[in-house]
A = this chain, B = another copy of it.
Amino acid sequence: MTTQPRLLRGFRDYLPETMIAKEAMLREVARTFEAHGFAPLQTPALEHEDVLLGKCGDEGDRLLYRFRDLGDRPVAMRYDLTVPLARVVAQYADLEQPFRRYQIGTVWRAEKPSPGRYREFMQCDVDITGTDAMLADAEILAAGAAVLRNLGVARFVIRVNNRKILNAALARVGVVEEPVVKATLRAVDKLAKVGEAGVRAELGREVGLEAGAIDGVFEFLGRNRPPAAPAVLLDRLAPLLAAQPEGVQGLAELRELLGYVAAMGLGEHVEVDLSIARGLDYYTGTIYETFLRDREDSGSIMSGGRYDGLIGVFRKEPVPAVGISLGIDRLFATLLELGLVRTTRATAAVLVAVFDAASACDAVRLAAALRRAGVPTELYPAPDRLKKQFRYADRKGIALVALAGPDERAAGSVKVKRLETGQETIVPEAELAARIPSL
């Protein structure tokens, strides 16, 4: 009786044809983060349930993979990389602050699967803890923008907003109770997805806002129609929020951040968008979302913000923090669709073919010599028919096949065929590695 080989719904495999390209992207992400002074951190996939529960809001809790382990402990698989970071910063008191780390890791959410939405995906996060200075928010933005540019993405926009401004705007229309504020922001967060009518419906029916308050929310969100330059928009908002200290502070923070954005030369990639709200409850200041200009409908590919309260959930003294998270799987899928990723199935530059079983040791020796010389080399792992070996190299996209038959071996040489052109060259074995690049 065989077991049916199949995946869980909402999960997927990355076969080599796509994984080679995704792996290259992941390396570039790590390299860029490191070049911005972030160091890697690794935390477990599993945590005590109470470490994760209640940290990402009700929806986060609903989507957690939770179970009891063999010791009957309630455990959960991580929902994001931010809550584990908060746990780490609280747990290791001797961690030098400001602390900046990146983490590339898998997270799990039991969402309803739909095209492009999976229950397991990778996030690439950068965060800075230990300071509430806007310089940190700017560093996060610099690292995020650099990653996209280094991945060959030229046309993107990072939309920024500030929760303090949103809070003040809501206070103006009488929305001040924390649960109602959070529910309102979660509804507003869906604006791009469900449209104004959808958000209005949710604010009325589910959040319970009065019609006047809902109008007030949309009047505020419309403040930037037609879109103005960030500085103009902020000037337009200033009198509106002057009576709310939180709003005044939010505006000052956003203004400072935009100054750093200009200093970094990132002005063309950053916009202020008052409707950016972020669905997660823990944000307290700057919030970011990022869109590909050619595929706005793919949704945000890199989001985050400031969460000055989260680490305080794990220890008495609060520690301010800010970060951003790149959804590498969604970005990768979109770049594939846009033709901005080149897929390949081979990692080797040359396939050493095996002439026959009797001469297999010679093929092994040849492959070993090429590898010692630094040439990425694959040895065909069986004395199959040569036709099959060449077809294998062809299908896999390996550029060169090296083969030594009796004549070549007698002469101490190797025949190399470039599959694309069919060109064959006989090369002395001792010179092979050095001549590979020009064959």
Contact = CB atoms under 8 A, between A and B. Distances in A.
B40 A23 contact: yes
Interface in A271-293: none
A360 B37 contact: no
Interface string A18-53: 011011000100100111111111111111101100
A110 B6 contact: no
Given A2-B313, A13-B43, A73 B38 contact: no
Contact of A41 (B2, B8, B19, B43): B19
A265 interface: yes
B96 A8 contact: no
A13 B90 contact: no
B67 A68 contact: yes
Nearest to A364: B263
A63 to B, nearest CB: 8
Interface string A338-381: 00000001111001001000001111110110010010111111
Contacts of A377: 35-37
Interface residues on A, range: 35 or more
Interface string A164-191: 0000000000000000000000000000
A341 to B, nearest CB: 14
Contacts of A396: 96
B73 A376 contact: no
Given A5-B314, A360-B260, A364-B263, A44 B139 contact: no
Interface stretch (A98-106, A409-417, A428-436): A98-106
B2 A315 contact: yes
B108 A70 contact: no
Interface stretch (A128-136, A225-233, A237-245): A128-136
A8 B108 contact: no
A251 interface: no
A51 to B, nearest CB: 6
Interface string A86-101: 1110111001101011
Contact of A136 (B67, B382, B395): B382
B135 A354 contact: yes
A50 to B, nearest CB: 5
Interface of A: 2-9, 11-16, 19-20, 22-23, 27, 30, 33-48, 50-51, 65, 67-71, 73, 75, 77, 86-88, 90-92, 95-96, 98, 100-101, 106, 108, 110, 120, 128, 131, 133, 135-136, 138-139, 142, 146, 259-260, 262-265, 312-316, 345-348, 351, 354, 360-365, 367-368, 371, 374, 376-384, 392, 395-396
Given A3-B50, A37-B347, 18 more contacts: A2-B315, A2-B316, A5-B87, A11-B46, A27-B27, A45-B45, A67-B68, A98-B380, A98-B381, A100-B381, A131-B384, A133-B381, A135-B381, A135-B383, A138-B379, A260-B364, A262-B361, A263-B364
> Which 4 A-B residue pairs are closest in the complex by CB-CB distance?
A37-B378, A67-B67, A16-B39, A133-B382
